Structure 1
Amino acid sequence: MAFPTLPDRFGFLHIDLNSFFASVEQQLHPEYRNRPLAVVPTLGDTTCCIAASYEAKALGIKTGTQVGEAKKLCPEIILIAGNHDHYAEYSHNIAKAVERCCPVAHTPSIDEMVCQLIGREQEPPTARKISLAIKQAIKDDVGETLRCSIGMAPNRYLAKIASDMQKPDGLIGLLPSQLPRAIAHLELRDLPGVGAKTEIRLNAKGITTMEQLLALDRNGMHGLWDSVWGDRLFHWLRGTDSGDDGAPVPTDIQKSLGHSHVLGPDFRSAEGAWSVAHKLLHKAAMRLRMEKFYTSSMAVTIRYQLTREQAERMKSKKHFSGIKHTGWGMEAKFADCQDTLTLLEVLRGIWQHAPQGPDFARPFFVGVTLKNLIPESEHQETLFGDVDHRNELSVTMDKLNLKYGHTTLHFAGMLKAREAAPTRIAFTQIPVQYGVDYM
C-alpha cells in the first residue's frame, strides 16, 4: 500500500530511568557508587534480584538473577532489601524535575515518564534540546547517580522502543524518514508487548526476524495477530498512530486492587501465611476506603513450596526464584462493603477452604485481591444501615493509621506479620502516599 509522507518531527519523549532502584540506593549511599549492587525483595539466597546496578550488570547479574547465583558471579556484591518509600519519593521528585522542562503527559510505571511535544517543540533540534535539559534537571535536582535514556519519536510506541536502544544515559530519535529501516536490526522481543509467548506464536507462523515482520502489509499484520493490535502495530512502526499512540485502552473505572507477598522463611507455615494474608487485607481495605470504593468480591491465592519428590508426584510450576510449587485459589462474593472487619470475616471463610496435609505445609506466597469495585457514589445503603458501626470503626482506625503509619492500629490476627510484607515496589504504577506511608 502507498504510505503517506510524514514530516520529520517528534511527537513524544519517553524517559526511562536507568537501573532506577539500584541508582537510588547509590545516590542514598555514596559508598556504594561504582560498585556492583543488587536490590532484592528480601535478604535470602532463594529470592531474585529485582534491580542491578550497571556495575553488576557488567558481571552478568540482572533482574531475575537468583541471589545465590549472583553471589557466585560476584562474591562481593552488595545486596539491599528494597525500600518502596524511597523509590516512590525519588520518582515523584524526578517527575518534578522533568516538569521544569516539559509537562509529563503519562506515567506508565514508577521508572518511566512520557512527555508529549507540541508546536515547535516537535522540531528535532528543539526536541533534543528539551531532552538534554531533562537529563540535566534530574542530575541537578535529584542526584548525580540518577541517569535516564530518552527516546524521541513521532508516536509513544516508537518513543518507548527508542528509549531502550541506548543504555545507560542514551538519547535516540526515530524520525519518520528513517522508518522502518531504523528498527529493522532489532529483535522481535525488543517490541513492547512481544514477550516470550508471543514470540513463540510468531515463530510458529513463520516470523522469526524484524525484517520479516516489517515486510508484511497491514492485512498481513492483522492476520498475524488476528486482531486490531496488528493494524495498530503496522501504523506505529511506520511513525503514524492508530488513535491511541500505544497507550493502553482505558477502562471506565478501576476493577480491582490488592496486595501479594512472597513469604520469608519464618512465615512459611499455616499460621505465618494467615498473619501475612491478614496484613495484606488490612492494607487493601485501607486503600479501598482511601480510593472511595466498595467491593463485592475477594480472591485469595496461595502457593505452596514442594520438595523434589512432591513436585514429581504432583502438578507443579517453577517460581522465578526457582521454587517448585503448586497453587490454590478461591473467590467469594458478598454484599457491597468497605470496612475491614467484614472483609476479614470473608477472608477467614475463604481460608477455611485452603488445602490441608503434608503437601500443603509450606506456603510461600499469598495474594489477596478485592474485585468488582463500586464507586462510593454508586453504592446503595442497606435498609438498616451500619448497625454494628463497622464503617465508623474503620474510619477511626484510618485516621490514626494515616497520622502515625498504617500498622499503628490493627486487628490482632496480623500482629505476627506487623513488620512483614512491606509495601511492594510498584513497577506498573506510581505509588500514592496516604498519610505518612506510600501504598
Structure 2
Amino acid sequence: MSASANPERFGFLHIDLNSFFASVEQQLHPEYRNRPLAVVPTKADTTCCIAASYEAKALGIKTGTQVGEAKRICPEIVLIEGDHADYAKYSKAISDTVELVCPVAHNPSIDEMVCQLMGREQEPPRARRIALDIKQAIYKNVGEALRCSIGMAPNRYLAKIASDMQKPDGLIGLLPSQLPRAIAHLELRDLPGVGARTEVRLNAKGIHTMPQLLALDRAGMHKLWNSVWGDRLYHWLRGEETGDDGAPVSSGIQKSLGHSHVMAPEFRTDEGAWAVANKLLHKAAMRLRMEKFYAGSLAVTIRFALTKEQAARMKSRQHFSGLKHAGWGLEARFRECQDTLSLLEVMRQLWRQRPQGEEFRRPFFVGVTLRELTPESEHQAELFSDPNNRPQLSATMDKLNLKYGHTTLHFAGMLPARESAPTRIAFTQIPVQYGVDYM
C-alpha cells in the first residue's frame, strides 16, 4: 500500500451533476434558463429551497435558504415545486448515456455516478478523454442545460472530493504524486463523511485544518476516529486503495422504510395531520409489499409549531424552516405483517396517545416509519389464514394502484390529503418506479 508503488493512474471517475434539480427544470423550461431559479417542496415562505440554479447561487440563494428569504434577495426568482418523477427519469437517462462511454459501477445518489477505469483507461490522457466524452454525451443526448463536474483519482473517495473542487462543469484529476498536498487547501467539511458534528468533534481533539489532519500518521488517524475508518482515510487521502475504494460498508440488510412530510398550512390541524399520516402509511405499506418485506414495528413522529411564548417556557428545537417546535414520537411492535389495514390499526392506536394541550395544536410535520423488516422468504406463515382476507385486499389495491396511480384506491382516512405529501425529492436514494408512479 506504499504510495511510491502506485502508478500515475486514475482508477475512478466520479460524476457529479451540477445543480441537478434546478438544471432539469431549466432543461424542461427553456424560458427559465439563465434566470435565478429554486426548486421548493411548496411555495410557502416558511419552507426552504431544495435546490438552486447557479444564477440563484450567485446571489447567495442555496439549498436550505428559506423561500421568504430567497424572495427578499431576488423578488423575480422563479420558484418551482419539484417533481421527483422528472428527476428520476433524467437521472436514469444520464446514467444510460454515461454507460455508452464507460460502464457505471455505482450510483451513490440521484445526481452522482461512479465509473471504474480498467487497463489503459487509467492512463491520465485516456481518462481525461473519457471524462470529456461523458460531458459531451450528456450535452448531446440528454440536454444542453445539464452539466456535470467530474473528478478523477486513484480511489473512489478522492474522486468524489475532486468532483467538488471545480463547479460547474469542472474536470479535476488527483494523481498519487500530487497527494496529499493537492488537497491541503480544502476545509475539513469538504471531506465526504465529515459533517458539522464530526467537525466539532475533530476541533475538540485539536484538528481544525486539513494540514493538521494530513500531518497525522496512520496510528494518529486511527486514534482520532477511534476506528478502522481512520486507517482507511489515512490511505485514501494519499491516493492508496484499501480494497473498498471508499465505498460505504453495508450490511446488505434493509432496516427500515418510511416517509415524512412538512405539511402545507391548510393541513396543520389534527384532522389534516391524520389525513397526511394516512397517506404516508399508504405509500410505505405499498413499498413494503413491492420490496417484499414484512414489518414488525411502526413509529409515528409529529412536530408541533410553537409560539415565541410557548417556546420560551418549554423545551423546543428549531426546524430548518425557522419554526420553533416541540416533537413527539412513539413506536409499537406487533406480529409482523405487510397489509395496510393491520398497519393502519397500529397507527391509530399510536395516534390516540399523542400529546394534548395548547402547545400541541399546530402540527406541521408528520413521519411514519416501518421497522423490524423481515424478507418475505424468512416470514413464518400464520397457522390459520386471516378470516378478513386483509392480505388479499392489499394485493387487489396494489394491482389497481400500480396500473392507474398509487392513490387510485385507498382507505377513506387519507381522502383529504390524497393529493398532498407527494413522494419526496431524494438526494441519497433514487426513487423507484412502481407501476406508473415513482416512490
- TM bin, normalised by shorter chain, reads over 0.9
Q: CA deviation at 1:132?
A: 0.7
What is the rounded CA distance, in whole Å, between the counterparts of 1:363 and 1:173 in structure 2?
49
Whether the 8 Å contact between 2:37 and 2:52 is mirrored in structure 1 is: yes
Letter in 1 for 2:408: T
Residue aligning to 2:423: 423
Does the alignment pair 1:77 with 2:77? Answer: yes
Q: Name the Cα RMSD after superposition.
A: 1.0
Aligned to 2:391: 391
CA deviation digits over 1:151-179, x for unaligned, max 9?
00010100000000000000000000100
Equivalenced residue count is: 439
Alpha carbons 2:3, 2:176 under 8 Å: kept: no
What is the distance in 2 between the residues matched to 1:277 and 1:168? 39
Q: Tell me the secondary structure at the aligned position of residue 258 of structure 1.
A: strand
Distance in 2 between the 1:306 and 1:245 partners?
Answer: 46
- Give the structure-2-normalised TM-score: 0.99
Residue range with higher mean Cα deviation, 385-394 or 35-44: 385-394
The residue identity in structure 2 corresponding to 1:428 is: T
Deviation at 1:252, TM superposition (A): 3.0
Partner AA of 2:80 in structure 1: I
**2:269 alignment partner in structure 1:** 269
Q: Is the 8 A contact 1:39 1:80 kept in 2?
A: yes
Match of 2:298 in 1: 298
Distance (whole Å) between structure 2 residues aligned to residue 206 and residue 34 of structure 1:
44
CA distance in 2, matches of 1:3, 1:389: 64
Superposed counterparts of 1:221-370, under 5 Å: 221-370=221-370
CA-CA distance at 1:4 after TM superposition: 3.8
Per the alignment, residue 61 of structure 1 pairs with 61
Q: Identity across aligned pairs (percent)? A: 79
Provide the secondary structure at the position in 2 that maps to 1:100. Answer: helix
SS at match of 2:427: coil
- What amino acid is the match of 1:112? E
Change (3 A) 1:5 1:435: same
1:203, distance to aligned residue in structure 2 (A)? 1.2
Write the distance in 2 (CA, Å) between the matches of 1:9 and 1:130: 14
Distance 2:433 2:356 in 1: 38
- Which residue number in structure 2 is paired with residue 409 of structure 1? 409
- Partners of 1:107 and 1:429 within 8 A in 2: no
* Kept in 2: contact 1:302–1:329 (CA 8 A): yes
**8 Å Cα contact 2:14/2:150 also seen in 1:** yes
Please, which moves more after superposition, 240-249 or 148-157?
240-249
3-state SS of the aligned residue for 1:104?
coil
Tell me what 1:94 maps to: 94
Counterpart position of 2:13: 13
Task: Single out whichever of 234-243 and 144-153 deviates more from structure 2.
Answer: 234-243
Unaligned runs of at least 5 residues, structure 2: none
Q: 1:213 maps to what in 2?
A: 213
Unaligned runs of 5+ in 1: none
- 2:274 is paired with a residue whose SS is helix
Report deviation, 1:242: 2.0
Q: Give the C-alpha shift of residue 206 in structure 1.
A: 1.2
Matched letter for residue 76 of structure 2: E
Equivalent-residue separation in structure 2 for 1:177 and 1:2 (angstroms):
12
Q: Superposed, which structure 2 residues align to 1:375-386 within 5 Å?
A: 375-386=375-386
* Counterpart-to-counterpart distance in 2, 1:112 and 1:323: 32
Instruction: State the 1:6 CA deviation.
Output: 1.0
Give the whole-Å Cα distance in 1 for the aligned partners of 2:71 and 2:436: 35
> 2:394 aligned with 1:374, yes or no?
no
Is 1:187 aligned to 2:187, yes or no?
yes
Secondary structure in 2 matching 1:303: strand
Hey, what's the Cα distance between the residues in 1 that align with 2:360 and 2:113?
43
Task: Give the deviation of 1:201 after TM superposition.
Answer: 1.2
Query: 2:400: which partner in 1?
Result: 400
CA displacement at 1:310 relative to structure 2: 0.6
Shift of residue 5, structure 1, vs aligned partner: 3.1
**DSSP 3-state at the match of 2:5:** coil
Give the AA of the match of 1:187: E
Contact 2:52/2:63 (8 A) holds in 1: yes
What is the Cα deviation at residue 243 of structure 1? 2.1
TM-score scaled by length of structure 1: 0.99
Q: Distance in 1 between matches of 2:168 and 2:22?
A: 13
Determine the C-alpha separation between the residues in 2 that align with 1:292 and 1:393. Answer: 16
The Cα shift of 1:3 comes to 4.7
**Contact 2:151/2:162, CA 8 A, preserved across alignment:** yes
Q: Map 1:117-132 onto structure 2 (within 5 A).
A: 117-132=117-132
Q: 2:188 is aligned with what amino acid?
A: L
What is the one-letter code of the residue matched to 2:426?
A: A
List structure 1 segments (4+ residues) > 6 angstroms apart after TM superposition. Answer: none
User: What residue is the counterpart of 2:162 in the other structure?
Assistant: 162
2:48 is aligned to 48
On the 8 A contact 2:2/2:240 being kept in 1, the answer is no
